[in-house]
Structure 1
Amino acid sequence: MTLDAIIVGGGAMGSAAAWQLARAGARVLLLERFEPGHTRGASHGASRIFRLAYAQPDYIGLAREALELWRELDPSLLELTGGVDHGDRASIEPIANALAAAGVPGRWLPAAEATARWPGLRFTGPVLFHPSSGRLHADKAVAALQAAAAAHGATIQHGTEVTSVAVRGDDLAEVVTAGETLRARRVIVAAGAWTAKLLPGLLPLRVTQEQPAHFAPVAPGPWPSFIHHHGATAVYGLLTPGEGVKVGFHGNGPVVDPDTRDYAAEPGRAARLRDYVREWIPGVDPDRDAPISCTYTTTPTSDFVVDRRGPLVIAAGFSGHGFKFTPAIGRLIRDLALTGAPGMPRFAIAGGQETP
């Protein structure tokens, strides 16, 4: 049987694609290599930042769409806590200007007012506050997306490793697993850190092992989600209820192979993160931390890839800021797969690359 769509990868984006495709009436099979709720990729854990605060209007529009879709899927997945950007004002002003142009609420606060409001954080200059920010529960979101996809008739299959993907015609592609060869009119590759292994040479993807940590709070809330524009380094954080305040350097980990990475906390990086927390986050204990290991898969520009080549739809490079957009990315994938509608120019594959 030739299916309408086979999705390779059951993380956030693959699961969102399954939901959007199945509720559009497509016959969908989602193949995930690992067990439900696994921790080997980039979609696990209890917290991700949601925010509309971008300097690019197309990202703001996509986040707005995602906000409505999260509420449609399950309102309990997203809690709006408010968010702040602080540090290098030259980096923050384009965000403030873009929010204002888009009519998104946001305002500058003096450092003293921000400190009084959020005593767990240290501010040294004006702070951009945007109330429509918060946190998503990652594990519950992926489970909800898969449940919604299944409710619309999609088949969700865990424990199935895809070893290769091949184009067989304008409207036909094959997916090979250890046990069989499957065919579909469209194959969506949303395999995160394993994308480059399945589609060698197509995308310039970089896979790194990142090392944020949860720190034990010592001050009462409230806690906003926060981005500190700290020189050449960006630092992000948010409260993860029951686990602590999650803090991490953005995209500074070593390059790894997702099949052979060690998941181990590197002592030097852990010490640098504790030093940062000691200076900038007085509301937590810098010496009571629980390291987290995850992968980032990024493109050279940090923009995502959501594009189509023949019967293949490729969705990759979301790490670092993609999770918030998940259900809207699923809609983009659906449109590319079913209608051939043009995607967003920002997310196109660079010219001159070949489809395998």
Structure 2
Amino acid sequence: MGSAAAWRLASRGGEVTLLERFGPGHDRGSSHGTSRIFRLAYTDPFYVDLAVRSLPLWRRLEEETGRQVLSLTGSVDHGPAAITDALYEALTASGRPAERLVPEQVAERWPGLRADTGAVFHPEAGRLHADEAVAAFQQAARAHGADVRHGVRVTGLSVLGDGVRVVTEANEEWRADAVVVAVGGWTAALLAGGASAPVSGVPKLRVTQEQPAHFPAADPLSWPSFIHHPGAGLPATGRTTDGVYGLGSTDGVKAGFHGIGPVVDPDHRDRTPDLATVRALAAYAERWLPGVDHTGPEPLTCLYTTTADHDFLVDRQGPVTVLGGCSGHAFKFASVIGELAASLVHGEPGPSRFALGRRPRTAR
């Protein structure tokens, strides 16, 4: 989100400096690796619209940088008919193509994937290459004149009149007319400070270590992305309470349980694979993903920073704009969230849905 905001702000002619705590391509947060799902399929029209708005911005990023970051292979959502029907209705009401399928049709079209009860396919979906996307945002930001600096840890932030004072771990001091804070799992720590905090209304954020895995498969790049919704053949309890997601990548077919990991401190987390979760993913793959080698999972870890309602934080107070609360589903929206951030910095209103201090909705 921070790199996307730097791109969109610099493209508007602003004098932009991007301070990155870690080096290029780091794996300390939520934006590394080779694969993130891109999809338009939400039952909520708000998110369908937001994803639709992100698509041309991803293509603009590719045009500006010459990097391919988004591959559209389509997406299969499957599970209870009530959910797949609602997804179909939301997509078609927004004028997007979608197709209802039965499990036999899914198996015929994608033999490596076994569907549950009902299914909906939409072609405007696929995968984003996370590392390439972040690198492309920064490349595009530089091309528009931004100064991108890595290895700079911000330790303090304060509002001074109409501007902002930023202090780094190396005791450097920066002054700016406006600042965008996009620090993922470190959001609460950086913005803490009681009455002296630079913004108010930052909600409680749950930072967890999640553990998907890559499974070997023939031609994984041909796979559609997929989401298995619980409530039919998949239990809506335990690890599968919020379903299973997956997609093909250069590292194999990725699959993971959504938002089940332990709460962690992002500076002191144990990246040791949880063997029980690995075994549970392998058992899922054996039943539902006949096209992968379920005996060879390669686990990996990443961070989720989740709000109570799973909506993001995209808001401005005074000279400080906050981007965060990705809740495990924000990467697909990064291009448009960068645009929203640039608009906020320039004084335009943002979505009330993402406001600081909002009353949380019931979690989706």
Q: Does 1:289 find its partner at 2:297? A: yes
SS in 1 for 2:92: helix
Shift of residue 335, structure 1, vs aligned partner: 0.4
Cα shift readout 1:111-164 (whole Å, capped 9, x = no counterpart): 111110011111232210001111111101111110110111110010000001
Q: Does 1:36 find its partner at 2:31? A: no
State which of 164, 171, 190 in structure 2 corresponds to 1:173.
Answer: 164
- Percent identity of equivalent pairs: 54
Q: Does 1:344 find its partner at 2:335? A: no
Residue identity opposite 1:294 in structure 2:
C
Residue identity opposite 2:203 in structure 1:
L
Alignment correspondent of 1:194: 186
SS in 1 for 2:341: helix
Give, in whole Å, the separation in 2 of the partners of 1:119 and 1:261: 38
Cα shift readout 1:228-267 (whole Å, capped 9, x = no counterpart): 00222310000012x1100000111000000000111011
Give, in whole Å, the separation in 2 of the partners of 1:235 and 1:214: 13
What RMSD over aligned residues (CA atoms) do the two structures have, in Å? 1.6
Give, in whole Å, the separation in 2 of the partners of 1:220 and 1:259: 33
Residue identity opposite 2:272 in structure 1:
A
Give, in whole Å, the separation in 1 of the partners of 2:103 and 2:131: 35
Q: Does 1:141 find its partner at 2:133? A: yes
Shift of residue 351, structure 1, vs aligned partner: 4.4
Give, in whole Å, the separation in 2 of the partners of 1:274 and 1:211: 12
Shift of residue 91, structure 1, vs aligned partner: 2.5
- For normalisation by structure 1, the TM-score amounts to 0.92
Shift of residue 301, structure 1, vs aligned partner: 0.7
SS in 2 for 1:203: coil
Cα shift readout 1:61-106 (whole Å, capped 9, x = no counterpart): 2211211011111062111101010012223322211111101100
Shift of residue 221, structure 1, vs aligned partner: 7.5
CA contact (8 A) 1:16 1:146 kept: yes
Q: Which moved further from structure 2: 92-101 or 300-309?
A: 92-101
- For normalisation by structure 2, the TM-score amounts to 0.90
Shift of residue 295, structure 1, vs aligned partner: 0.4
Q: Does 1:236 find its partner at 2:245? A: yes
Shift of residue 218, structure 1, vs aligned partner: 5.2
Give, in whole Å, the separation in 2 of the partners of 1:123 and 1:115: 7
Give the number of equivalent residue pairs: 338
Structure number having the greater strand percentage: 1
Give, in whole Å, the separation in 2 of the partners of 1:172 and 1:185: 4
Alignment correspondent of 2:336: 328
Alignment correspondent of 1:216: 216
TM alignment of 1:260-339, pairs within 5 A:
260-338=268-346
